[in-house]
Amino acid sequence: MKELNAVQALAALAHETRLQVFRTLVVAGKDGLTPSLLAHQLGIAPNALSFHLKELTYAQLIVAERQGRNVLYRAHFSTMNDLLAYLTENCCQGSPCLPTIMPSSAN
């Protein structure tokens, strides 16, 4: 993954609603979801959802596929995996990372 692509993906995910949409599509897996189901599940107005779907599509984090009269959105897992690989490419300077105990944070 190129740095510019990583920046675009991270910028797209740096918004609460877009992060919720992306995570919901990750959970939906290969079956994906229609915009109406996404809007209903997340309580997002359809016009606002449309904007966020466009931004996630531009960042190549999701893909849209027409199925008959509907559009189905899915997480683009290869982009997600490329982003994770890019972010952790030089993790622990090439050595296996030791598990760390993270302090629990209050949500």
- pTM to 2 decimals? 0.83
Structure tokens at 28: 């939906």
What is the phi-psi region of residue 48: left when phi exceeds 0, alpha when psi lies from -120 to 50, beta otherwise? alpha
pLDDT digits (tens, 9 = 90+) for 29-87: 999 999 999 999 999 999 999 999 999 999 999 999 998 999 999 999 999 999 998 88
Domain regions of the chain by residue span: 3-89
pLDDT at 13 over 90: yes
CATH 3.30.360.10 fits 3-89, yes or no: no
Residue/partner pairs of 38-42 with CB below 8 Å, 24 or more apart: 38/73, 42/17
Main-chain dihedrals φ then ψ at residue 62, nearest 5 degrees: -135, 160
Q: How many Cα atoms within 13 Å fall on the side-chain side of residue 14? A: 6
